[in-house]
Structure 1
Amino acid sequence: MALLSNICQFLDKELKVFGIPDASQNGLQVEGKQEVKKVVFAVDASLDTFEEAHKRKADMVIVHHGLFWDKPQPLTGILYQRLQVLFKHQISLYAAHLPVDIHPLIGHNAQLMNFFVTKKRETFGNYHGIDIGFLGILHREITLSAVVTKLEESLNTKCQVLAFGREKIKTIAVVSGGAAELAAEAVDKKVDLFITGESKLSSYYIAKEGKINVIFAGHYATETLGMQALSIVINEQFGVECEFVDLPTGL
């Protein structure tokens, strides 16, 4: 058992949730039981997630996409239905958006880059003045088809591929989720392959005219990795039961 306040303090500090500008209102979004015996981790703060958390007897849910963003929202409709489950069962909700993208060890993008053996790694993907992804130079070249196979098998996903660059890949840039617009930065930095989650029409022509490869591996799929890594950290730090709930969207 651990105190909710101690878990939140640890997350706030480890993820630097209040030092990273973000549209998400990161941190503790809903307060429930003060004593936490089990934590469920998920990508999205959906009704399915909360109902699954209750079934699994969780006291706390930690997600990447939380309930509260830029502006205040009326507690009606779908948002009200989601909150009802949390309030009824006294389940706490903690959200960490960009902080889990950015984290150099347990973040989505660090975990994605760990699929490949790199001899050099640097930050990549400027988003409102902050780099949220990574660019890596591989220890040895790998084929584009081998990268696709690796991603599909590791993430249980189906990739969309824009094969407009070299078949042999030496440099890879990764930004999880919805970052198709950063293909332009990949072109500028002469990257062989840019990996992100969600596709966008304009990125097709950027990739084609810039002569680079782009893989869309799924918004959801590319943002499972950081949550799974974070679950291990919380388990080791506090000794509470931790479980990742996989609710794929196919998107």
Structure 2
Amino acid sequence: MTQLSSVTQFLDSLLDPQKYQDASLNGLQVETKNREIKKVCFAVDAGLTVIEEAIQQEADLLVVHHGLFWGECQAIRGALGQKIHLLMQHGCSLYASHLPLDGNMEVGNAAEIARFLSLSQVTPFCEYKGATIGASGTAPRELSFSSLLEKLATIPGASLPFLQLMFGNNERCSRIAIVTGSGAFALPVAVQEGFDLFISGEPKHEVFHMAQELQANALFIGHYASETFGVRAVAERIEQTLELKTGFIDIPSGI
């Protein structure tokens, strides 16, 4: 039987939350009386339906990318109170990892997308408050945008059709930069560093003119879809290292 403290220590060591300045309260957010972990569920969001499914799957721990606490003192009432009550009542603790799971080069969202696209020379990209939150790499050969789109369209939960802002040379691409989630702010960094394509999850309205004026290529595959990679990779590590049962709760937002 694996103790909750052992699992959280493993996650903290892997993800290094202290390295990041983040609005999210990264780490163990909800600790229940159940200290013996037999099954860990993983999800992108700590939504009510996600928590209910984790309980249905008899999870002792739920690990998410978007947790419940975001830098402010919150009253435990309403939907938040309901979610915490369910977790406590059913002995399912909650661990969250936001920016650490975006920027981690072993299991992070951006690095995992780079490997999914078979990029080589995968390196950290886009420094944010002292730590990098993205990844970049080089295609093994000049990759056509059409073949890249076909590959990305196979991502579970992908928001199709993708928003494509192609104002640069859009026939082939070699160097690709990635910041998952709501990463449109990093487009100028990608252009400045000479990347052919910038990939993120959810766009902002102003990114259209930004891409046009920078003569840049930007592709947005959906916030949710871009951030399933990290939790899946961590689940695999947990299975291999701690030999625990895991489950992925897939509830796409369509955003």
After TM superposition, the score normalised by the length of structure 1 is 0.96
Q: Does 1:160 align with 2:163?
A: yes
Post-superposition offset of 1:57: 0.9
CA distance in 1: counterparts of 2:116 and 2:239, whole angstroms: 23
Residue of structure 2 in register with 1:138 after alignment: 139
Post-superposition offset of 1:56: 0.7
SS in 2 for 1:177: coil
CA RMSD in angstroms, aligned pairs only: 1.2
Post-superposition offset of 1:198: 0.3
Per-residue displacement from partner, 1:89-132 (whole Å, max 9, x unpaired)? 11100111111111111111110001233343332122223221
- Superposed, 1:1-251 pairs within 5 Å as 1-32=1-32, 33-157=34-158, 158=160, 159-166=162-169, 167-251=171-255
Seq. identity, % = 41
Per-residue displacement from partner, 1:36-60 (whole Å, max 9, x unpaired)? 1111000001101110001111111
Deviates further, 116-125 or 128-137: 116-125
* Runs of 5+ consecutive residues of structure 1 not aligned to the other structure: none
Post-superposition offset of 1:169: 0.5
CA distance in 2: counterparts of 1:219 and 1:197, whole angstroms: 4
CA distance in 2: counterparts of 1:13 and 1:105, whole angstroms: 12
Question: Which letter maps to 1:163?
Answer: M
Post-superposition offset of 1:211: 1.4
Q: How many residues align?
A: 251
CA distance in 1: counterparts of 2:44 and 2:59, whole angstroms: 16
Moved over 6 A (4+): none
After TM superposition, the score normalised by the length of structure 2 is 0.95
Is contact 1:187-1:207 (8 Å) kept? no
Deviates further, 27-36 or 117-126: 117-126
* Runs of 5+ consecutive residues of structure 2 not aligned to the other structure: none
Question: Which letter maps to 2:155?
Answer: S
